[in-house]
Amino acid sequence: MLSDRELHKLAIEEELIAPYNPEYCEEATINLTLDPLVKQYSSDEPIVLGKEVNDDEHYDKIDLTSDEFSIPPKGSVLIQTHEFIKVPNNMTARIYERFGVQSLGLMISPGHYMNPGYRGKISLVAFNTNSVPFRLVPGIKICQMGLFELNTDPLKPYEKQDARYMDSTDVSISKLHLDQEIQEFLKEKGIAKVSDEMAGDLGKHLMSHIKLAAKDLAELAMEKLDKGKI
């Protein structure tokens, strides 16, 4: 894990974080602040894993600089950091909760991970564990970020993957439906998106895909074993 010396150097020389306030750099983390933009799921439509959601149909957008907003008891919203982050290709970043926030009953995406090479604001889930509403205030130091250096450079940093959240400056909603296996299912069925009725079929397709991949890998391992390559 990088120390404050290394974090400060990256922030100055490599534009790790913008805007950067040196006073927010602590022993091994940098404090990140709450952006004014928040999104709340407002649709009555049930959520199905793998089914597409979109901003217009499913979410309300709230600007904390002009609208007073509180997370309802046991409710959650999507938030983001005000800071734009550039994770180096040879590092990963991780988000940690601040005790001062956590102890008030607000949980911020514990263990949130960022891929090597990720660029953008960081979208997070904020969950109100209280039995009373929780008022959000923009600019508050909401979480902390730590960086870890990899032993070797990755074969596929984030920009060489699908990078669906790259360069985000808006609160990101789920893009789970873009997973390759789900898209293959949609193409096979000749449909545009997963419906409630098709959720069961999607599950069967994904489980079959897992079993087939495991079988192929096992056969490949046996082949290498027979040839003395293992």
Task: Give the chain's domain count.
Answer: 2
Is 131 found in the same domain as 93?
yes
CA distance 16 to 142: 18
Q: In CATH, what number is assigned to the domain containing residue 81?
A: 2.70.40.10
pLDDT tens-place string over residues 179-221:
988 998 899 888 888 888 889 989 998 898 888 776 666 666 6
According to DSSP, the residues that pair with 113 across neighbouring strands are 94
Domain boundary among 173, 188, 211: 173
Enumerate the H helices of 37-179 as residue ranges: 55-58, 99-102
Q: What is the pTM (predicted TM-score) of this model? A: 0.85
Domain boundary among 151, 173, 195: 173
Range of the domain at 190: 180-226
Is 81 found in the same domain as 104?
yes
pLDDT tens-place string over residues 132-179:
999 999 999 999 999 999 999 888 888 878 888 888 999 999 999 999
Tokens of 4: 């404050």
